[in-house]
Structure 1
Amino acid sequence: MGKGCAVAGRYALLLESVTKTYGSGRNAVTALNDVTMGVPRGTFLAVMGPSGSGKSTFLHCSAGLDRPTNGGVTLGDTRLAGLNEEQLTEIRRERVGFVFQAYNLLDSLTVADNVGLPFRLAGTPVPTDRVRAELANVGLADMGDRYPGQLSGGQRQRVAVARALITGPDVIFADEPTGALDTRTGKQVLELLRGVVDRTGQTVVMVTHDPVAASHADSVTFLADGRLAGELVAPTPEKVAERMTRLGEW
């Protein structure tokens, strides 16, 4: 095992000198610029930065949704470089969980079927007991037969969290998970994600613009102009907001 693999073993996610450039020549835009960082297993990381800082590109490259121009990403014990599209699809389906601002549930499927969807897509039997257990874990034990349109926004986001957990992924990526929710409901979803980390040792990486949301994480990594711009451990809303203000100076 090479040194890089040994280091990766400590991390659920490892980025090594990751650069992502869109376009070429004069029109080239560097969205990520030589980013190297690791996310330890069993931690909750928030990623923040101003608009255009590279947050979405960071998430897309980390989750195998996009390929870096240079550098490498290791998810769990698997280097993503060199994998073909079919292999990346399998990685995303079985080893990555996603929680999006817009929930991304299928309205034609019941709540239980939405949670079991990764297994259906893989062509494997859906573990119904596990589906029920995950719904119970997110406080929706009696909602399996309902449809997304019958649920509140907070309940739909809980379904999305259950679906993200069902395969026991290396990392759950949450992209502005409270962006469409009111303050009270958003706080409940954030407490749920915090509980997932504390209870199961799961790893969560959350992109957010909200200092209150970021305060639920163990640490916050800041991006500015595609580069790492510092880290804040044990964040509070006030400390996060103050650091975000200073990013403009950075």
Structure 2
Amino acid sequence: MRLRGNKRRTTDDRAEVRGTSGLAVELRGVRRQYGRGSDAVHALAGVDLALPRGTFTAVMGPSGSGKSTFLQCAAGLDRPSAGSVRLGGTEITGMRENQLTELRRSRLGFVFQAFNLLPSLTVEQNVLLPMRLAGQRRDRRRAAEVLAQVGLADKAGRRPGELSGGQQQRVAIARALVADPDVIFADEPTGALDTNTATEVLGLLRHAVDVLDATVVMVTHDPAAAAWADRVLFLADGVFVGGLDGGSAERIAARMAALSSRTGVMAGAAA
């Protein structure tokens, strides 16, 4: 069952609240090539994408389709070989590494399959770590607020090792929310969780979009996880090849099966 708050706003409503363009992520002609000549691998072969603020987008594709490279380029973790990336209206493609580091700390949130919590720090300290690294004042009131939003108001003084896997991922979500980021990038956020715990975590991401007006971009291999998104986009051979709006897990799985089959046939023909 999905968590719902107030009536969901339309894309136009969100654009009016958050800015004139209403775009959280924009990629134009993005290519990422590894190696040169006959050994070159084209991980992204010309990606064009515009994602509105306040939306939840899932990205899926067969193994080797470019999902991880897409996320890394979109989040400023890797540099495209060509093309343009804008986050929250800011062009990041030509930024120096120190500028990208500051942008990631202050304007982006990340949730990974591995929770990436520091075991020596308390839950509260882990949540406030992005502020600390960005040289900002550590706002304990803000930490308490986001921990309450993910159902961990009573766990601020605990260490990660004292928490379950689901609770640790909740801490990671709170850490991603603490700076009110332009975008939260989630890379297989439920990959290490059981089904019930995964549902709770996906419900929190859905809640962050519906109630907190966050923007979530999630890479996943799981159709059940992707079904929580507003839209599912499919990657194959480094380009987007279609999408589904509000698709069920069954429809998403069927589309993935067809895509994987087609990709396999094309790979076999190329061989």
Partner of 1:114: 126
Partner of 2:88: 76
Matched-pair contact (CA < 8 Å) for 1:8–1:14: no
Partner of 2:57: 45
Q: Aligned pairs, how many?
A: 244
1:17-76 C-alpha deviation (Å, 9 max, x unpaired): 100001111111000111101111100000000110000000000000000001010000
Partner of 1:141: helix, strand, or coil?
coil
Which shifted more, 87-96 or 117-126?
117-126
Partner of 1:231: 243
**Counterparts in 2 of 1:91-240, with a 5 A limit?**
91-240=103-252
Q: Tell me, which stretches of 5 or more residues in structure 2 are unaligned?
A: 1-18, 264-271
Taking structure 1 as reference, are residues 8 and 240 closer, same or farther at Cα in structure 2, changes over 3 Å only? farther
Distance 2:163 2:233 in 1: 33
What is the Cα deviation at residue 229 of structure 1? 1.1
- Percent identity reads 59
1:109-162 C-alpha deviation (Å, 9 max, x unpaired): 000000000111112210010000000000000000000000000000000000
What is the Cα deviation at residue 10 of structure 1? 2.2
Find 1:246's aligned residue among 258, 265, 270: 258
What is the Cα deviation at residue 8 of structure 1? 8.7
Residue 139 of structure 1 aligns to which amino acid in structure 2? G
Partner of 1:61: 73
Distance 1:8 1:54 in 2: 31
Matched-pair contact (CA < 8 Å) for 1:8–1:74: no
1:71-93 C-alpha deviation (Å, 9 max, x unpaired): 01000010012110000001100
Instruction: Normalising by structure 1, report the TM-score.
Output: 0.96
Taking structure 1 as reference, are residues 8 and 99 closer, same or farther at Cα in structure 2, changes over 3 Å only? farther
1:187-215 C-alpha deviation (Å, 9 max, x unpaired): 00001100110001110000000000000
Distance 1:240 1:106 in 2: 35
Superposed CA RMSD in Å reads 1.1
Residue 113 of structure 1 aligns to which amino acid in structure 2? Q
What is the Cα deviation at residue 216 of structure 1? 0.2
Distance 1:10 1:166 in 2: 21
Partner of 2:16: none
Find 1:20's aligned residue among 32, 36, 40: 32
Matched-pair contact (CA < 8 Å) for 1:9–1:76: no
Residue 100 of structure 1 aligns to which amino acid in structure 2? F
Partner of 1:249: helix, strand, or coil?
helix
Distance 1:153 1:234 in 2: 28
Partner of 1:33: 45
Partner of 2:99: 87
Distance 1:196 1:226 in 2: 29
Distance 2:94 2:76 in 1: 11
Instruction: Normalising by structure 2, report the TM-score.
Output: 0.89
Matched-pair contact (CA < 8 Å) for 1:8–1:76: no
Residue 223 of structure 1 aligns to which amino acid in structure 2? L
